[in-house]
Amino acid sequence: MFRKNLLIIFSLVFATVFSQQRTQPAKLSAKGDYTHESTSTIFPALWSGFQREAIYSYDLKNNHVAVGYVQQTTKKNKTTLTLYIYPKKEIDNQLLRDEFSTYEYALNQNSNKGTDLKPSFGSASNEHLKVNYMYSIFNHSMGQPDFFKGVKYTDKKSLLAIYECGGWGFKIRISSDDMTSDQIAELKDKTENYFGLLNIASKRPLPISRTPDIVLSPVVKRDSMMINSTITAAQAKIEWLATHLEKKELLTGFNDMNVDSEVFAIEKMIDFYKKHEKDWTMDQDTKKYFDEMIRIADNGKIKDHIYEKYNRLINYEQGAARKDEYIQFRIDKNISEDTNQILYKIFYKLE
């Protein structure tokens, strides 16, 4: 029961508010294959040594579902595999990061040890589509109810993978008592192929003929310089993604995990500030922000700044090795936490 409740909790972490969302998750009854009608994804009762254990629905149309499988290898050892499919009303360039970090927080709430989800990045493609994703294979001490101890914590090898599938979200969660990291990675790949990751992504491609919309953080609206320089950064981000990503991956998501896209946007923002510094009266916080960002840029620390800003959820291989050096740089150069604010998002509204 405890693990089934976790399945519900973790799915609700990413629940989008729909007009027909259920007030409580409903456990669906299905004999034999269960088909997710909107994506044509088939969940068999038995698959590759795994037995389907539960199907939960979170909306009245059964678009948002979580399907749990279990493989009992011995009396004490088992592997659980949970698959999540959920529709999106909109998608933005921060969504993958937001989902990943929210899930890490939820896992740490159910652990007596720190759970470290070191991010890795991957993709799957065919001639028509390319799906990008973020994943982590990690150790997790999972809490389970115990008659004598109240909660008993068991060390497990785990995986979380979250995929950009256009207007659909897809997520894989694995937890195992006896699998190695390599075996879990192999199971992830096998799951992607069998359950049709690319087919799911084909159902609601993004409207890339339209330019993405921009939403500004409230903090940006303090003066004209902050507004216009942030819009410049967002437009630069859109430009970089459009010119550096393949059409087939733009159809499935923003894939805004390349550190170079953020570097380009920041440099354009700073250039705009320098060009128009005398054009408007600025709030003191705006002046302070750009003074600090210019110090970061002049010292060749933009990528390190981005790595810290996104709490390492960015594809920058040198980030971890340079983290401590950047922290000391911030102290020495009086760089405040204000530079880490997310000032904008680019997005598509899908409904």
The number of beta carbons lying within 10 Å of the beta carbon of residue 129 is 22
Question: What residue spans define the domains of the chain?
Answer: 2-202, 213-349
Q: Is the pTM of this model over 0.75?
A: yes
Give the span between the Cα atoms of 177 and 289, in whole angstroms: 48
pLDDT in tens, 15-55: 444 446 788 899 999 999 999 999 999 999 999 999 999 99
pLDDT in tens, 83-117: 999 999 999 999 999 999 999 988 887 777 778 89
120 forms beta bridges with 135
In a 13 Å sphere around the CA of 234, the CA atoms on its Cβ side amount to 23
Q: Sorting pLDDT into bands at 50, 70 and 90, what band is 256?
A: very high
Helix ranges restricted to H, the chain: 2-13, 95-109, 181-194, 197-202, 224-244, 247-250, 259-276, 284-298, 302-309, 319-333
pLDDT of residue 148: 54
